[in-house]
Amino acid sequence: MTGDAVAAAARVLREACGPRAREAFPMAPLTTFRIGGPAALYLEAESDEDIAAAAASVAASGIPWTVIGKGSNLLVSDLGFPGLVLRLGRGFRWAARDGRRLRAGGSMPLPALAGVALVHGLTGLEFGVAIPASLGGAVRMNAGAHGSSMRDVVEVVEVFSMGAGRRQELAGVEAGFSYRRSALPAGSVVVGATLLLRPDDRAEIRARMDDIRAWRRRTQPLAEPNCGSVFKNPDGDHAARLVEAVGGKALAVGGAAVSKKHANFIVAHPGATSADVATLIRTLQRRVADRFGIELEPEVQFVGPIDDAGAEDRRQGRAAV
């Protein structure tokens, strides 16, 4: 992608959004890995009008674009992203209750929304209390834990079509939810959703949420930079078991290492690069495929050109079995 195209997109975006349209914007602080390069162009959208302006800038320039939420399942290239990164801002961080329904904006953090459900004595969203995702990201990837997922509670999804330049609603049953994915329209941004929950005793809801938080603290490296679960669980098995069985917990590449606490987590130590993480991911995939004939599918999303070639020598020198 040429600098001229990015400059053209930036001009269109600044006409509508002013200095909120940023060039060469650091992305590492926006991710839970805390690594990766800058976005060529960045906008934190506060309204549908902002998203429409982003769509116009993409149409006028042809640059690629992507949406990020809380950044908990992203690996951003060391080179960054060569187009527009769009993130929903405070204008999309809200929630409202109507009986058994919670309607919320796409940037509402899922744990905060679970807390709103608790306040109103509504059950069904407890699983989200420890998932570091925005509502939009959680819906897009059908986030889940502890036997539940967004598919179980989403009644309506609100998306903004970048192509059509407008918002539309889809019933939850039309979203095409499956394990850690959805079939929402390509080229759309999840700007809100309505969840259908059930009344329950607040004390019982709080107890379940406390249990989930405690389980996460015991089993996951919450104090270290990571992206959450790296791989999806294969049918009838667990990615963590497979990784541990091939000696994964002893592996490190540069500053990236498999967590000693949970084998399906990779932690980024000081000095880690995205190339280190990518090499480690591919090494684990090869080992599991060679031993078990199972192709582990990454749950983490790759943003920008992920090139692990530069980390290969470090893998050979520092990986331990």
The dihedrals phi and psi of 214, each to the nearest 5 degrees, come to -65, -40
| Token digits of residue 211 | 């249990």
Chain-centroid distance, C-alpha 14: 27
Residue 86, amino acid: L
Q: Are 301 and 75 in contact (CB under 8 A)?
A: yes
Write out the catalytic residue numbers: 180, 229, 299
Q: Are 157 and 170 in contact (CB under 8 A)?
A: yes
CB burial of residue 232 (10 Å; 0-12, 13-18, 19+): middle
Radius of gyration of the chain (CA): 20
Rounded CA-CA distance 146/132 in Å is: 15
Helix (H, G, I), strand (E, B) or coil at 255: coil
The dihedrals phi and psi of 183, each to the nearest 5 degrees, come to -120, 40
